[in-house]
Amino acid sequence: MANKWVYLFTEGDASMRNLLGGKGANLAEMTNIGLPVPQGFTITTEACTQYYEDGREINEEIQAQINEYIGKMEEITGKKFGDHENPLLVSVRSGARASMPGMMDTILNLGLNEEVVNVIAEKSGNARWAWDCYRRFIQMYSDVVMEVGKKYFETLIDEMKEKKGVKLDVELDADDLKELANQFKAEYKDKIGADFPDDPKEQLMGAIKAVFRSWDNPRANVYRRDNDIPYSWGTAVNVQSMAFGNMGDDCGTGVAFTRDPATGEKGLFGEFLTNAQGEDVVAGVRTPMHINEMADKFPEAFKQFNEVCKTLENHYRDMQDMEFTVEHGKLYMLQTRNGKRTAQAALKIACDLVDEGMRTPEEAVAMIDPRNLDTLLHPQFDAEALKKAEPLAKALAASPGAACGKIVFTAEDAKEWAARGEKVVLVRLETSPEDIEGMKAAQGILTVRGGMTSHAAVVARGMGTCCVSGCSDIAMDEENKKFVLAGKEFHEGDALSIDGSTGKIYDGIIPTVDATIAGEFGRIMGWADQYRRLKVRTNADTPADARKARELGAEGIGLCRTEHMFFEGNRIDAFREMICSETIEEREAALEKILPEQQGDFEKLYEALEGNPVCIRFLDPPLHEFVPTTEEDIKKLADAQGKSVETIKNIIASLHEFNPMMGHRGCRLAVTYPEIAKMQTKAVIRAAINVQKAHPDWTVEPEIMIPLVGDIKELKYVKNFVVETADAEIAAAGIELKYQVGTMIEIPRAALTADDIAKEAEFFCFGTNDLTQMTYGFSRDDAGKFLNAYYDAKIFENDPFAKLDQVGVGKLMKMAIELGKPVRPELHVGICGEHGGDPSSVEFCHKIGLDYVSCSPFRVPIARLAAAQAAIKNPRK
């Protein structure tokens, strides 16, 4: 049997999301539950994949089915493509499995040509509307299907408005719009070299192709990478009979949420425009009115819409984001989906749904995207400073958070400035999908036009970036990169603060404070902790980081990179003396200076962790990272050691390595300079003894971690003198103290020989940064330079240094556990590479049986939630 590539809305349901995309599946579901949905059909995501397999062509079989379904749709609607009595007009929209708001393209009013325009003008008695539809269609088709570019058409509209002496599009009359349509067609012919297509079927095939093609456009690719959406999923295409919101003042269009997507507050939230088509609301070209004002304009439709909202929320048991149109007072539903929301709103909605009896705590935990939590963990404005600050203006609080930085006016500038470490606030008239990367680079986004559902607002909320939209008080001069607000002229580079939670805008920089876990956040985290099996530790090198991580729920330190402790104050001087020593005596003298400092640091870490595990890794990086580079520092070092500048320079030169990442680092340092590891052992053990004595009710059991081991003999060699030193310290103190010596598994050979390594190592911790580097043979410091080419060529969909390569690196991890555990059943295994805070990698760690993940302090809550979701998704058999 031939494949089925096309489904009527009456043939699908919500469970068919993979095949019909989210929008298609929900249109089918809404049809099934009897809501007013203009009918149509969905071309499947498989057809999209097939289109790419066929070299970006829609094959004959699929085309034939599309044509067959046009026939079915004509029967259902009683309208016909190109008909002179009752012409069928359709919208064509993309709809992937996971919603990608604003990422792909839409075409409305398809099926129009000059004859059909005359028919609908006459039948409706509304020539203005008919020509408005046609000029919009030409504009969208030219832009989306033929990629002519919007700006030519916008210029023509502006010229027309100027000629007629009007300000708004709605002030143009039928003749103006007709003239515009003709100008648009001429522009099309000029750019494309052919006439604008009149045949609706030809128009439709072109539009479907364009939607398939848009799956591979740069902004969709960036969005997918940011949101973990595989390229292989493809997008479906929905062809739906048009409902018209632009037929006059008894028509309109709107977008609404069943709860506030910024705060999560229950209640209808949205916007509405009379006499307009869908894109007008989202594009932010006109600032729309609040949804509740619809009650006065269209009481019947508003009442019905409220009912629909309740039905949909109860049906999906989640906050819904809906698009609808009112045509001559009658309501039509065009879309529903689980609404995108801020992290704050996600937590509130999940808790409220539990309290309302709609969801279980387990479902509530599973509903929240852990990556979203990130935004809640970032600083907020200091409440005291905020009270004192006088806002310049107040606009829409479109996406919460605090942002301050230097003003930039273009997305390119935002990207460029951010790349050189500047914090920027992107200020624009309105944003469009091309701005996405600049929006991502900015601390916050401020727009002059557009409402809560404008592109800027929707996209910023999705990204978790602070956004204030629709600040019409700003007199903007984008071209000259300046604006006036509250009587003051602002230029590129001036400081500005915006509060996405209140919509207020402030002159200058307002100080910020750290976030805390409380309220709904705490409630969800509490539930998450009940479900997870993985422990969550943190990578922390300072007591302050460790305390922060504890506040955020860390259950131990999984990695303390001791080298980071050497940069503070004048410690670096002693460390440099140690590196530039020429004899053991010299080195030991320098180490003597360092020992008390290290011991003090470790004591503070143990104190901060209150008896929870602390894993301290011995010196790891290549030594040349620490040597002085300025003449002044070289001279200082020479003087301290009583050596000549020349000698120091020679020592520094001798430390140069061609490939330092594979050079003299990790346990190789301990092999060449055992005195360094011995000093670190003393510091760890002495600190532990002191803290244990001070807190007899705690169990202080240090974990000493030897990095970059590839051969059992390396570990054995280093472990021997570490144990000897530790035991001597403990004996001298005359107390009982247990400690463990383990290793990082970060060299492929260690994973391959993990059964041997486990004979000596009391624990394993996967250093997946190095393990990725060495498994792929990609330098972790240089990969950024070529990974973009890999994304473009679809070789990689993600950065393997951020999201674990489960196939290759993951196989080594699995192998190491399977080899190690039988040799030492009590072996505990963790991960402390960057992947320990990445949700999909955390799930993998759960599945292969790790004991804990360790990540930076601010990612601890993300890992806690991801670990809970992994346990919920993969229950123990």
Which has the closest alpha carbon to 743: 675, 667, 805? 667
Among 413, 577, 770, 805, binds Mg ion (CB under 5 A): 770
Beta strand pairing call for 466-469 and 396-399: antiparallel
Residue closer to ligand PEP, measured from CB, 87 or 833? 833
Distances (CA, A) of 573 to 126, 309, 590, 628, 653: 83, 67, 9, 9, 18
832 contacts ligand PEP (rule: CB under 6 A): yes
Q: Which alpha helices (DSSP H) does 248-406 contain, by range?
A: 278-283, 294-297, 299-316, 343-355, 361-367, 383-388
d(CA 861, CA 536) in angstroms, rounded, equals: 9
Contacts for 302 with CB less than 8 Å, ≥ 6 apart: 294, 295
Which has the closest alpha carbon to 741: 722, 728, 767, 724? 722
Residue closer to ligand PEP, measured from CB, 369 or 770? 770
Name which of ligand PEP, Mg ion, none residue 743 binds, using a CB cut-off of 5 to 8 Å depending on partner kind.
none
| Contact region with Mg ion (CB under 5 A), list: 86-94, 110-118, 726-734, 764-772 | 764-772
Altogether, the residues listed in the chain come to a count of 877
Q: How far is the CB of 671 from ligand PEP (least distance, A)?
A: 18
809 contacts ligand PEP (rule: CB under 6 A): no
Which has the closest alpha carbon to 665: 769, 804, 763? 769
Here's the x/- map for Mg ion, 717-746, by CB under 5 A: it reads as -----------------------------x
Name which of Mg ion, ligand PEP, none residue 436 binds, using a CB cut-off of 5 to 8 Å depending on partner kind.
none
Among 29, 132, 601, 620, binds ligand PEP (CB under 6 A): 620
Active-site residue list:
455, 832
559 contacts ligand PEP (rule: CB under 6 A): yes
Q: How far is the CB of 850 from ligand PEP (least distance, A)?
A: 14
Name which of ligand PEP, Mg ion, none residue 423 binds, using a CB cut-off of 5 to 8 Å depending on partner kind.
none
SS3 646: helix
H or E, element range at 446: strand 444-447
Q: How far is the CB of 710 from Mg ion (least distance, A)?
A: 12
d(CA 645, CA 648) in angstroms, rounded, equals: 5
Distances (CA, A) of 622 to 106, 429, 665, 708: 54, 49, 5, 12
d(CA 373, CA 464) in angstroms, rounded, equals: 9
Among 191, 201, 297, 561, binds ligand PEP (CB under 6 A): 561
222-226-228 Cα angle (round to 5): 110
Residues 738-767 that bind ligand PEP (CB under 6 A): 746, 767
Q: How far is the CB of 740 from ligand PEP (least distance, A)?
A: 18
Q: How many residues bind ligand PEP (CB under 6 A)?
A: 10
558 contacts Mg ion (rule: CB under 5 A): no
Residue closer to ligand PEP, measured from CB, 607 or 746? 746
Residue closer to Mg ion, measured from CB, 463 or 706? 706
Name which of Mg ion, ligand PEP, none residue 50 binds, using a CB cut-off of 5 to 8 Å depending on partner kind.
none
d(CA 260, CA 787) in angstroms, rounded, equals: 38
Q: How many residues bind Mg ion (CB under 5 A)?
A: 3
Q: How far is the CB of 837 from Mg ion (least distance, A)?
A: 16
Among 770, 805, 838, 843, binds ligand PEP (CB under 6 A): 770
541 contacts Mg ion (rule: CB under 5 A): no
Q: How far is the CB of 707 from ligand PEP (least distance, A)?
A: 7
DSSP 56: S
Q: How far is the CB of 1 from ligand PEP (least distance, A)?
A: 51
Contact 18, 176 (CB under 8 A): no
Q: How far is the CB of 767 from Mg ion (least distance, A)?
A: 4
Residue closer to ligand PEP, measured from CB, 561 or 604? 561
858-859-862 Cα angle (round to 5): 130
Which has the closest alpha carbon to 243: 37, 549, 23, 17? 37
- The dihedral of CA 270, 274, 277, 283: what is its sign? negative
Would you call 17 exposed, middle or buried from its count of C-beta atoms within 10 A (0-12, 13-18, 19+)? Answer: buried
Residues 47-86 that bind Mg ion (CB under 5 A): none
Residue closer to ligand PEP, measured from CB, 95 or 622? 622
Report the Cα 404 to chain-centroid distance in Å.
20
d(CA 3, CA 6) in angstroms, rounded, equals: 9
Contacts for 733 with CB less than 8 Å, ≥ 6 apart: 686, 689
Residue closer to ligand PEP, measured from CB, 571 or 780? 780
Q: How far is the CB of 343 from ligand PEP (least distance, A)?
A: 27
Here's the x/- map for ligand PEP, 75-94, by CB under 6 A: it reads as --------------------
Q: How far is the CB of 776 from Mg ion (least distance, A)?
A: 14
833 contacts ligand PEP (rule: CB under 6 A): yes
Q: How far is the CB of 762 from ligand PEP (least distance, A)?
A: 18
Contact 96, 43 (CB under 8 A): no
Here's the x/- map for ligand PEP, 689-708, by CB under 6 A: it reads as --------------------
Name which of ligand PEP, Mg ion, none residue 768 binds, using a CB cut-off of 5 to 8 Å depending on partner kind.
ligand PEP
Residue closer to Mg ion, measured from CB, 271 or 620? 620
Q: How far is the CB of 660 from Mg ion (least distance, A)?
A: 13
d(CA 599, CA 597) in angstroms, rounded, equals: 5
Among 768, 798, 841, 856, binds ligand PEP (CB under 6 A): 768
H or E, element range at 140: helix 127-140
841 contacts ligand PEP (rule: CB under 6 A): no
760 contacts Mg ion (rule: CB under 5 A): no
d(CA 407, CA 424) in angstroms, rounded, equals: 6
Residue closer to ligand PEP, measured from CB, 143 or 770? 770
Name which of ligand PEP, Mg ion, none residue 542 binds, using a CB cut-off of 5 to 8 Å depending on partner kind.
none
Name which of ligand PEP, Mg ion, none residue 702 binds, using a CB cut-off of 5 to 8 Å depending on partner kind.
none
* Radius of gyration (C-alpha) of the chain in whole angstroms: 32
Name which of ligand PEP, Mg ion, none residue 830 binds, using a CB cut-off of 5 to 8 Å depending on partner kind.
none
Which region holds residue 481: left if phi is over 0, alpha if psi is between -120 and 50, else beta?
A: left
Residue closer to ligand PEP, measured from CB, 515 or 619? 619
3-state secondary structure 598-644: HHHHHHHHHHHHCCCCEEEECCCCCHHHHCCCCHHHHHHHHHHHCCC
767 contacts Mg ion (rule: CB under 5 A): yes
| Contact region with ligand PEP (CB under 6 A), list: 403-411, 630-638, 675-683, 768-776 | 768-776
d(CA 253, CA 282) in angstroms, rounded, equals: 10
Residue closer to Mg ion, measured from CB, 8 or 662? 662
DSSP string across 60-79: HHHHHHHHHHHHHHHHHHT-
Residue closer to ligand PEP, measured from CB, 201 or 749? 749
In the complex, the residues that contact ligand PEP under the rule CB under 6 A are 559, 561, 620, 746, 767-770, 832-833
In the complex, the residues that contact Mg ion under the rule CB under 5 A are 746, 767, 770
